[in-house]
Amino acid sequence: MLTMQDALARLTAYWTEQGCLTVQPMNTEVGAGTLNPATFLRVLGPEPWRVVYVEPSVRPDDSRYGENPNRLQTHTQLQVILKPDPGNPQELYLGSLEALGIDVKAHDVRFVEDNWASPALGAWGLGWEVWLDGLEITQFTYFQQAGGINLEPVSVEITYGIERIIMALQDKTHFKEIEYAPGISYGEVFGQGEYEMSRYYLDDADVAANRQLLELYAGEAQRLIDAGLPVPAHTYVLKCSQAFNVLDARGAVSTADRAAEFARMRRLAGDVARLWEARRDELNHPLGLVEPLPPARPVSLPAEKTQPRTLAFEIGTEELPPSEARAALTYVEKAVTDGLAATRLTHDEVRVFATPRRLVAVVGSVAARETDSVRVVRGPKLAAAYAPDGSPTKALEGFLRGHGITAAEVEQSDFNGVRHVTVSRHEAGGAAAEVLAPLLAKVVTGLRGAKNMRWNDPQLSYSRPIRWLTALWGDDVIPVAVGTMAAGRTTRVLRTAEQPEVEVASAETFMETLAINGIVADPEDRQELIVTGAQDSVYPDGRVDVAGEAALIDQITYLVEAPTPLLGTFDESYLTLPDAVLTTVMRKHQRYLPVRSAEDGSLLPMFVTVANGPVDLELVRAGNEAVLRARYEDAAFFYRADRQVPLPAMRSRLERLTFTDKLGSMADRAARISAVAADLAGPLGLLTPTLERASQLVKFDLGSQLVTEMTSLAGVLARDYAENAGETPAVAQAIYETELPRNTGDRLPASVPGALLSIADRLDLIAGLAATVGLPTGSSDPFALRRAFLGLIAVHRAQPALAGLSLTDGLTFAAARQPVVVSEDVLLSARDFLAKRLEQVLVEEGRPVDRVRAVLPHHARPSVADKLLAQLDSLVLDPDFVRVAEALQRCRRIVPAGTPDSYDESVLVEPAELRLHEAVVAVAAEVSALEEPDLVRFTEVVRRLAVPLADFFVDVFVMDENPVLRAARLGLLATVRDLGAGLLDWSELRL
Amino acid sequence: MLTMQDALARLTAYWTEQGCLTVQPMNTEVGAGTLNPATFLRVLGPEPWRVVYVEPSVRPDDSRYGENPNRLQTHTQLQVILKPDPGNPQELYLGSLEALGIDVKAHDVRFVEDNWASPALGAWGLGWEVWLDGLEITQFTYFQQAGGINLEPVSVEITYGIERIIMALQDKTHFKEIEYAPGISYGEVFGQGEYEMSRYYLDDADVAANRQLLELYAGEAQRLIDAGLPVPAHTYVLKCSQAFNVLDARGAVSTADRAAEFARMRRLAGDVARLWEARRDELNHPLGLVEPLPPARPVSLPAEKTQPRTLAFEIGTEELPPSEARAALTYVEKAVTDGLAATRLTHDEVRVFATPRRLVAVVGSVAARETDSVRVVRGPKLAAAYAPDGSPTKALEGFLRGHGITAAEVEQSDFNGVRHVTVSRHEAGGAAAEVLAPLLAKVVTGLRGAKNMRWNDPQLSYSRPIRWLTALWGDDVIPVAVGTMAAGRTTRVLRTAEQPEVEVASAETFMETLAINGIVADPEDRQELIVTGAQDSVYPDGRVDVAGEAALIDQITYLVEAPTPLLGTFDESYLTLPDAVLTTVMRKHQRYLPVRSAEDGSLLPMFVTVANGPVDLELVRAGNEAVLRARYEDAAFFYRADRQVPLPAMRSRLERLTFTDKLGSMADRAARISAVAADLAGPLGLLTPTLERASQLVKFDLGSQLVTEMTSLAGVLARDYAENAGETPAVAQAIYETELPRNTGDRLPASVPGALLSIADRLDLIAGLAATVGLPTGSSDPFALRRAFLGLIAVHRAQPALAGLSLTDGLTFAAARQPVVVSEDVLLSARDFLAKRLEQVLVEEGRPVDRVRAVLPHHARPSVADKLLAQLDSLVLDPDFVRVAEALQRCRRIVPAGTPDSYDESVLVEPAELRLHEAVVAVAAEVSALEEPDLVRFTEVVRRLAVPLADFFVDVFVMDENPVLRAARLGLLATVRDLGAGLLDWSELRL
């Protein structure tokens, strides 16, 4: 059996053979091999560097007393840095797996999008998790930035998770069972340390001491930066990081602390990085400089042909993220189509395909040459071409000489009404290869991803490295050259194929060549294979919810080139876990399709995974099953443990979770939510025992282990644990609904207590954070307040029982409950922010802007706005409403702002105005009797003013010379105007 | 070329093959691999453990900015632990050198005594430095104690210094030039780190911050101990250690700090160790238990022989320290001789021999059997043996029965004058093998070293492990069995021999067998080989000072079994270094014999080293030369640098060196020495410009780099640097002499200013430390105060010009200069301590105790005591002196204590008393005119009292009835008594 120490030795030896230095782990605690100066500092600057080292990586937060089978406070990374990118790092990596004795042909080894960023280090890169039969065994990253500095050249970072790999290879279910050395288990060697360090990190580390350590370390780091010493400064940045992680594991870090600490570390790390670069410059780069690769030379032009042939163009990449592959599909189609349109090459349909590793365009019957054309070249004006004697002027002579023609060959044409001499030049079309080469090159250079990276090609930038180009027109290679790549006739198929590189005879056989080699280039074909394969494998008892899993299936389609669906099972006992737990693990973590009973839709203890290529099915199935088992075991471990804990005990753990520095613990926050919910419910008569009990428990599941692990399950697990603990379904549901909606489009609270708690939750969040951190600005919304506002709006709109609830009143209640002062200014800004969000939501739903703005005075009660908008939909077709509305707007225009809605009726004289007066008096009484904003009822009442108003405007001159009369008339109109006040912002309405 | 990373990989692979686990370096800074829990914790308790790991070891104090060719703040150790001792760890170790490609047959690989102790860890062990051609490449230790706990089983610790080994193998002269990986040098990889971390440790580390860190770490360590968590506690102990080392490198640790900090760390480490053991007990020893080796079974007894044969007995050991081998020689000779004497085996001379690896006893003509003997066994008293009727009593019957004899066979004998019945038993002698076996076993078990250790033999304990026994009598193996060893006929010769184990045919050929195999067992032969070999190799121009180097030659004699002297040279340019530097390096560090010019005795640029066995001379010479070059280069580097520094600048560096917490810096101390010297010199009129200038500079060389490196050269280098800086030779000499004597028997100051400064130095040391730390107690003398007192005495005695100087007055001056209060009590104790030391010194010189005690009142002026003792030597032969002395003692006895030395002469009546009175008056005037204590002059004067006194005692009855007369007579005698007061303590003198 390959022992763990052998594995480390073999990997080290393998990478040493690839020219890597071997160095030692960092001699201060680090969370990852990346932090070792052999990575963090060495990826900076222009010097080459290849290194391999083991790094025991300390993650205090992962402490589990050695009990959890897969989680350790110190796990062993093996870290490789290749600088510059050697051009074939994935292939080198697969070689390292073979060095471990892993048959990469039999296993399903995949590169699954995973981008890496460390805000604390100002570092990021693009790359993948490497999956071995569904198990993440390696992080593979093209480092783009470190310490905020763009990296040039780019380094490849390969980080192996050794315990995981060994557990898989040794078929162990607990890390302690790993055979570390012959006859000696991991547990025997490291078990006690795991337990004791877990105790330290979780229970016994002194918070005050570690706070002091953090400050002392930061102080030393800063002093050393000031002294121009990046190496010791870096060491102290690492010590900061460890002290911070210890505090975090002890639950002593608030969100605000975290942000501040990350900012400080980012700043320090950036300073260290810049200093290091400067020092290496001063030292004149002891390890030399990386030479950029030279640009490629295209193949020579093929001999001319005459018959139309197919064009096949392939851009070979390393594994693209699914979304990028899909986007590229659209781009390539347009780029090729437009490109061809700009030539004079005739051709048939342009078809494009994409897999994770290739973008393919195939165009039928592309002509061998462009059609010829005639170009008319303009010469001097006719008037200036000939002397009065008709002989050519010097200007014409020059023109003739320039084109090598005689005066006899000259023609004439009008240009903008002026006659010029011209000459017609016959232009032959270009040969296909000649014309296509620059066109295709442009397709490549035009590729852009949502996130782009650089690799060893000095000229290109894209979502992932482009590694080869295949460009054929018929039998000929088109001489495309981009960056360091020259197109040829070689394509690459599965890396694990007997022959991973294949010559393609001609463009016509291109797709066939791929197909023969197992590559299903067409996404539709792949999807078909996946769906039918999945359904077949579970038929007849199970089914895959193809519609429901559409997004996942789409993703899987772009994760494989040669889909090999296979059915796995898991132990039925795990079905006792909540559905959401099971499916979240399957979908989010493993990209497995859940399988449901064809009968009742309940989950079956199976899953469909889709491997890539002709793997050993049994081996891959077993591997994936083991991974899922480990994940479920993990979840079950926490689930069982959580269900042992009484809810109040779990809830009391919230006291140890800091919410923010100024706003106290999560327990404080839960208490506020509870109080605000009561504030809201009281006036509405909605105070119920359900609400009361749910309020006592709200958020309790944040104190559970499983939610700590899988935060997306907050609420879901609360419901489960609450029911398990004997709470009523209504209470459980209300606690669950407190968390709704979790994102835009998520389900909304169905129960009134749930809706009240949901709103109270968000009001508390907004009131507290607006006062302490501020409302979201364009780019900064660290606490997702925007989402909270949208949630408020959505919940209010969805729950008719809350129509009477004013969110702005609620905000005032929530403000009063905060441990900090929430100023009136802050509340005003928050109301304004709410109004703006409501406007935005309604407009995005397709409501006319004018009507949205008209109802916006009701932003405190979004459901009222909804009702009014709905009424407007029909009322705008009602001539009476239009008339009334216009009249109200007219009154508004005529009456100066500030005019009071009272008048001395005794001075009115004209019959029309007296009639209006009478009508207004009658209507006003009825209008003021309307309790709730209701445009229909309002219109029913006010439509009686339509005729009197019309008459008034015809018969009465408002601006009479007699000021008393004028005042009375204006007062009358102001009264009309104010009839609709508070119902709509009438001025916004466009009729 | 073997790169450094290859070397690490090869050693790791080699030890893994020997069953070692591979673990990672510690992820917090450690000063040595020993501190890694894989050593410090795992050597505790009964579980087996074999491990190999690399440990980058941080020694802030060794920081040299990467400039020094051999000194690094972080060097790379490779650490191996074998628990239990496998029985052949040295052989396994040599295998590891072969794994590195080192031909151990061609090189001179030696195990040179080096015991290891870490007071801060409560840990110690015995073992060796391993030398490769004179280069220390490995520390090899049998761990005996850790955390204050005795280790059972014992672990073998092997620590390789990788950089050194690689520099030797790659023939590099600077660590930066090491080829770390193919084409990449050590300097390229680690050079910047060396520089920057040196900057941190030497210049930029914040002292206050590191002090705080130290306290925080110690606090966490203690808390974790209290929480019962040894693993994290140990981590914090390590962090304490690093913080302390940083402070130390910054010169911020006083001697008192150091002692306190070591005590704290020792306590913490001890607690951690005990906790670890307890936890492993609780965990039931996951790695199992080490089974102790079974006792050996001796070979069977040989058939009986008749002729006398030689006895050869060999105790095979691992390399004994020279002093232990010498001591064992004496022990074995006595043990064998005494042992044989207790047998009835006749034999010839007992000869014993010793080498580092064997103790041999050879005894000629040991009889085949013991001679027979007759033993008389005592029976009952005759009186009780027979009844009155002459028949045997029951007692006699029992006796007869017991011996199976009849009454007729009974004899009689007297025992203490009482007649008993007896029986004569004829006892046959034992066969040689039978008799010798227990005798020889007892020789082995009786071996004791000055320091003893345990290894894998559960029953034995000795200076180093005993690994084999060879015991032959003639052709027969004597069935000796001790512990796990049974003697045989196999001896071991050089480990590098073709056949390291050799069968010995017979005892008679034993020595020959050794000789044939190159082992020179007789130390005298070896010494002869060394001396003649050395002289031959340097003849005729050079010579080795055999007499002067006797101690070194004696040591070398016991460092080799097969001496191979060889001559090496070094570059003449190094001869510009002071002699003391060159020879200290040669003798102390390398055990090389310096070579001097046969003409003028000046050092020649060569040395003689003595290899062991038939090595490749050229290779070994080159290796040794390289080692010496490196050491001299090191010294020259510092020497050159030091000589660039103006003396005041160097002196000012003393401000950064803490002397002790309470007594300030070394600069403070130097200032006090200077002031005290002036205090002493003033009254004696010895204030000279030389003294003044020397005082200004005193101790300045403690600020030099070379003295920091080689503290034994303090003073020597001061003289050199001072002369180089243009000081007068007298000033330079005085500064040098301040440090004298450096130990007992060392030379003493020759000049008066030197002597004054030397005394001032010691007075300051004593006054300050006696007040703050206390005077030495039996076992504790951390500041070597005892030596300071002895120095005071020696200097005073040697310098006649200082005869008038009172050391106790000096102590008072020095006390007044201290920054702390030195109480009268402390001063009294110090005076008393001085007196006791003087007594001890004089007695040890062979002076009679009574005379020493008699002169002890002059302890403040030891030279006075000397003078008086010298005078006593002749005076005790002078009858007058004896008479006077006896008279004085008689007066003392007669006159009650407290009687005043005055009397009313008018009441005297007897002629004898009147004559005495007159004589006393005359003598008293002369005695009081004697300025200095001088027994000769005193005797000359006082001898005039001899006759009057004799007469007085004959004629006068002192205790007259008349009280007035009695008082006068007693007063007269008191006056006589007091004539000698202050000169001697007459009462002590035995005449």
Residue B274 is encoded by which pair of tokens?
């005990």
Which single residue is written with the structure tokens 């800063």?
Answer: A222
Res. B237: pLDDT tops 80: yes
The b/e string for A647-663 (b: 16+ C-beta within 10 A; e otherwise) is beebbebbeebbbbeeb
Q: What is the share, in percent, of chain B residues with pLDDT greater than 70? A: 100
Cβ–Cβ gap A180/B21 under 8 Å: yes
Cβ–Cβ gap A9/B13 under 8 Å: yes
Name chain A contacts of B279, Cβ cutoff 8 Å.
192
**B860-885 average pLDDT score:** 89
CA–CA dist B67, A528 (Å, integer): 69
Res. B119: pLDDT tops 80: yes
Name chain B contacts of A184, Cβ cutoff 8 Å.
21, 287
B212 in contact with chain A, both atoms CB, cutoff 8 A = yes
**A966-973 average pLDDT score:** 87
Cβ–Cβ gap B21/A181 under 8 Å: yes
Name chain A contacts of B58, Cβ cutoff 8 Å.
27
pLDDT band for position B883 (cuts 50, 70, 90): confident
Res. A820: pLDDT tops 90: yes
- Position B166: which residue type? I
Q: DSSP letters along A198-237, please?
A: HHIIIIIS-HHHHHHHHHHHHHHHHHHHHTT-HHHHHHHH
- pLDDT, position A892: 84
- pLDDT, position A327: 95
CA–CA dist A894, A974 (Å, integer): 9
Q: Residue A256: CB partners within 8 Å, gap ≥ 6? A: A660, A661, A662, A772, A773
Q: Using CB atoms within 10 A of its CB, is residue B305 exposed (0-12), middle (13-18) or buried (19+)?
A: middle
Over residues B601-622, the pLDDT tens digits come to: 999 999 999 999 999 999 999 9
CA–CA dist A674, B565 (Å, integer): 92
- In chain B, positions 522-561, which contact chain A (CB-CB < 8 Å)? none
Cβ–Cβ gap A232/B197 under 8 Å: yes
CA–CA dist B714, A727 (Å, integer): 84
- Position B147: which residue type? G
Residue B114 is encoded by which pair of tokens?
């080096």
- In chain B, positions 68-87, which contact chain A (CB-CB < 8 Å)? 76
Containing A311, the helix (H) or strand (E) segment is strand A309-317
pTM of this structure: 0.82
Over residues B555-579, the pLDDT tens digits come to: 999 999 999 999 999 999 999 999 9
CA–CA dist B972, B968 (Å, integer): 6
Cβ–Cβ gap A12/B8 under 8 Å: no
A275 in contact with chain B, both atoms CB, cutoff 8 A = no
Over residues B338-385, the pLDDT tens digits come to: 999 999 999 999 999 999 999 999 999 999 999 888 888 888 898 888
pLDDT band for position A777 (cuts 50, 70, 90): confident
First-residue to last-residue Cα distance in chain A: 82
User: What are phi and psi for residue A608, nearest 5 degrees?
Assistant: -115, 125
Res. A232: pLDDT tops 90: yes
A347-351, A446-450, B923-927: which range is least confident on average?
A: B923-927
**B142-148 average pLDDT score:** 95
CA–CA dist B92, A497 (Å, integer): 47
Distance of CA A654 to the CA centre of its chain: 30
**A704-722 average pLDDT score:** 91
pLDDT band for position A710 (cuts 50, 70, 90): confident
Res. B780: pLDDT tops 80: no
Give the residue ranges of DSSP H helices in B486-539.
510-516, 523-538
- pLDDT, position A176: 96
Res. A646: pLDDT tops 90: yes
Nearest CA to B742 among B692, B791, B799, B675?
B791
Over residues B447-484, the pLDDT tens digits come to: 999 999 999 999 999 999 999 999 999 999 999 999 99
Cβ–Cβ gap A27/B24 under 8 Å: no
- pLDDT, position B945: 85
A37 in contact with chain B, both atoms CB, cutoff 8 A = yes
Res. B194: pLDDT tops 80: yes
Over residues A169-216, the pLDDT tens digits come to: 999 989 999 999 999 999 999 999 999 999 999 999 999 999 999 999
Residue of B nearest to A285 (CA): B188
Res. B255: pLDDT tops 80: no
Alpha-carbon Rg of chain B, whole angstroms?
A: 36
Cβ–Cβ gap B286/A28 under 8 Å: no
Cβ–Cβ gap A9/B28 under 8 Å: no
CA–CA dist B753, B750 (Å, integer): 9
**Distance to chain B for A203, nearest Cα, Å:** 10
pLDDT band for position A890 (cuts 50, 70, 90): confident
Distance of CA A314 to the CA centre of its chain: 28
- pLDDT, position A300: 93
Res. B427: pLDDT tops 90: no
Q: Using CB atoms within 10 A of its CB, is residue A354 exposed (0-12), middle (13-18) or buried (19+)?
A: buried
Q: For residue B91, give Cα distances in angstroms to B345, B494, B604.
A: 39, 11, 38
Average of per-residue pLDDT values in chain B: 92
Over residues B814-844, the pLDDT tens digits come to: 999 999 999 999 999 999 999 999 999 999 9
CA–CA dist A475, A480 (Å, integer): 15
Name chain B contacts of A205, Cβ cutoff 8 Å.
220
Task: Specify whether the CB–CB gap between B521 and B352 falls below 8 A.
Answer: no
Residue B708 is encoded by which pair of tokens?
């920091």
Name chain B contacts of A230, Cβ cutoff 8 Å.
196
More confident residue, A612 or B894: A612
**A441-450 average pLDDT score:** 95
A225 in contact with chain B, both atoms CB, cutoff 8 A = no
A387 in contact with chain B, both atoms CB, cutoff 8 A = no
Task: Specify whether the CB–CB gap between A317 and A462 falls below 8 A.
Answer: yes
Cβ–Cβ gap A28/B29 under 8 Å: yes
Over residues A538-566, the pLDDT tens digits come to: 988 899 999 989 999 999 999 999 999 99
Q: What is the share, in percent, of chain A residues with pLDDT greater than 90? A: 71
Over residues A345-381, the pLDDT tens digits come to: 999 999 999 999 999 999 999 999 998 888 888 889 9
The b/e string for B679-712 (b: 16+ C-beta within 10 A; e otherwise) is bbbeeeebbbebbebbbbbbbbbbbbbbbbbbee
Name chain A contacts of B28, Cβ cutoff 8 Å.
27-29
Res. A626: pLDDT tops 80: yes
Name chain A contacts of B9, Cβ cutoff 8 Å.
9, 12-13, 16, 22
Average of per-residue pLDDT values in chain A: 92
| Cα dihedral A585/A590/A591/A597 (nearest 10) | -50
First-residue to last-residue Cα distance in chain B: 82
Name chain B contacts of A16, Cβ cutoff 8 Å.
5, 9, 181
Containing A146, the helix (H) or strand (E) segment is strand A135-146
CA–CA dist A680, A682 (Å, integer): 6
Over residues A612-623, the pLDDT tens digits come to: 999 999 999 999
Cβ–Cβ gap A287/B188 under 8 Å: yes
Name chain A contacts of B40, Cβ cutoff 8 Å.
none
- pLDDT, position B620: 96
Task: Specify whether the CB–CB gap between A593 and A606 falls below 8 A.
Answer: no
pLDDT band for position A22 (cuts 50, 70, 90): very high
- pLDDT, position B490: 97
- pLDDT, position A504: 97
Cβ–Cβ gap A22/B5 under 8 Å: yes
Cβ–Cβ gap A216/B196 under 8 Å: no
- pLDDT, position A920: 87
A328-332, B236-240, B358-362, B862-866: which range is least confident on average?
A: B862-866
A700-704, A901-905, B54-58, B694-698: which range is least confident on average?
A: A901-905
A571 in contact with chain B, both atoms CB, cutoff 8 A = no
Q: What is the share, in percent, of chain B residues with pLDDT greater than 90? A: 71
Residue B228 is encoded by which pair of tokens?
């019962």
Nearest CA to B502 among B472, B523, B478, B527?
B472
ipTM of predicted complex: 0.81
**Distance to chain A for B64, nearest Cα, Å:** 15
Name chain A contacts of B181, Cβ cutoff 8 Å.
16, 21-22
Res. B230: pLDDT tops 90: yes
Counting one residue from A and one from B, how many pairs have CB atoms under 8 Å apart? 140
Over residues B684-711, the pLDDT tens digits come to: 899 999 999 999 999 999 999 899 888 8
Res. B130: pLDDT tops 80: yes
**A427-451 average pLDDT score:** 94
Cβ–Cβ gap A27/B22 under 8 Å: no
Q: Which of B16, B28, B204 sits opposite A227 (nearest CB)?
A: B204
